A and B are shown apart, each in its own frame.
Chain A
Amino acid sequence: MKKLFLVGMMILGLSIGPVVHAQGVYPDVPKATGEPHPEGNEFMRINHPDLLRHDRDLTVRDGDRDVDYSLAGCVACHAVNGPDAKPVTSESSEYFCRVCHDYAAVKIDCFQCHNSLPPDLGEASLMFDRPEQSLDVLLTYLEGLSR
């Protein structure tokens, strides 16, 4: 029993230790403009690569554009504005994805092909043909501008 207690204390110590230590080091994740993910941020942090990979295959291979997770969708909501009040590209270390990816030293190659800037209004409405969705994109865009 005493042993178990000691082990318990050790685990507790280990789990508290780094959190306290990392408070100042952990990246300051920029806020998104749209509705929060219903799955929760923790889920998205862990699963976003799999969700994107799954849905990209649906779109490219099967032509299914009505998917839940698209890179254009990420980029539209998670735009970070630079000093000139315009969204920054993935070249900038301020870029939403890079904040964590630089911290974790994980390279992203999405933006070698995909545009890292939020889709402009014309193209957004091309991509999302459902009218209510293009309104969402419009609102997101305007909110991004006003930030």
Chain B
Amino acid sequence: MNIPGLKPAGSCGGGCASKEKGADVHRRDFLKSGAALATLTLAPGVTLMAMGNGVAAKANPGVRWGLLIDAGKCPSDCNACVTACSDEHGWENNGLDTDPQWIRKVTLKDRETGRENSLPVMCQHCENPPCVDVCPTGASFKREDGIVLVDRHTCIGCRYCMMACPFKARSFLHEKVTDQKVTTPRGKGTVEGCNMCVHKLDRGDGTTACVEACNATGNNAMIFGDMNDPDSDISKALASYPSIELRADLKLNLGVRYQNI
């Protein structure tokens, strides 16, 4: 399987360095804004608790949720993240072209050396998402904490977002759905994709189903966290080791980064 237009490793050129600089500026702004405090005072008597285990919080504009995937630790025969996502959200892929796919395992092959690489690809949660640009109803939107979502209440199923997405991350639901998960309502005629397990984040779990599953297998190929928080695991890993964005040439500033591709 191949992603159309996916460039091989090292193609990000100078773009990556400038991106990292950009992230630093955001971090400074973030610290200056005071959003790093454990409790945020919104108005007299109204406080917003910072995320932590068991503390439910609204989408926090100071946060940018992100994923770092180490392709070097991702075995080609492991499908745990895909299965976990499917179980968490109740979607099913039986191999038909029209079946939904929120996350998929992709194998990349270097034609010169024959080296193969396996990695999960899902919605990359762009800072400047093309799916949001093209949506005629405003159903495709970006939450304050950087998660790109479809509001199915306003989705008319036109599939413009599917055309606009460089990563084929969205699926259209062709068939009637029954017995949906309470936390993931889904219905025929709407578009769907990875939602970074918003229900889990809103609950204060601070992780996603795929990352939990990956850690459970012992591969630990995925790190989830707040890319705006310099002390988070993901920020530290991004600062210490080289990583790339898929299609960095599009300058979308993705929320999902890869290592060892």
Q: Which residues of A contact B (CB under 8 A)?
A: 56-57, 60-66, 72, 89, 112-115, 117, 119, 123-124, 126-127, 129
Contacts and interface: CB of A to CB of B under 8 A. Distances in A.
16 contacts: A60-B149, A61-B141, A62-B59, A63-B144, A72-B182, A112-B187, A113-B152, A113-B185, A114-B180, A115-B180, A115-B182, A117-B179, A126-B183, A126-B199, A129-B54, A129-B204
**Secondary structure of the B contact surface, majority rule:** loop
Interface residues of B, number: 32
B56 interface: yes
B233 interface: no
| Interface pairs A-B: 5 shortest CB-CB | A113-B187, A63-B59, A113-B185, A112-B187, A119-B182
A65 B56 contact: yes
B58 interface: yes
Nearest to B147: A63
B153 A63 contact: no
Interface string B162-194: 000000000000000111111101111110000
B143 interface: yes
Contacts, number: 64
A127 B190 CA distance: 23
B198 interface: yes
Contact of B186 (A57, A65, A113, A123): A113
B200 to A, nearest CB: 8
A123 B54 contact: no
A114 B187 CA distance: 8
Nearest to B176: A112
A123 B183 contact: yes
B127 interface: no
Contacts of A66: 56
Contacts of A57: 153
Contact of B153 (A56, A89, A126): A56
B143 A61 contact: yes
A126 B203 contact: yes
A10 to B, nearest CB: 44
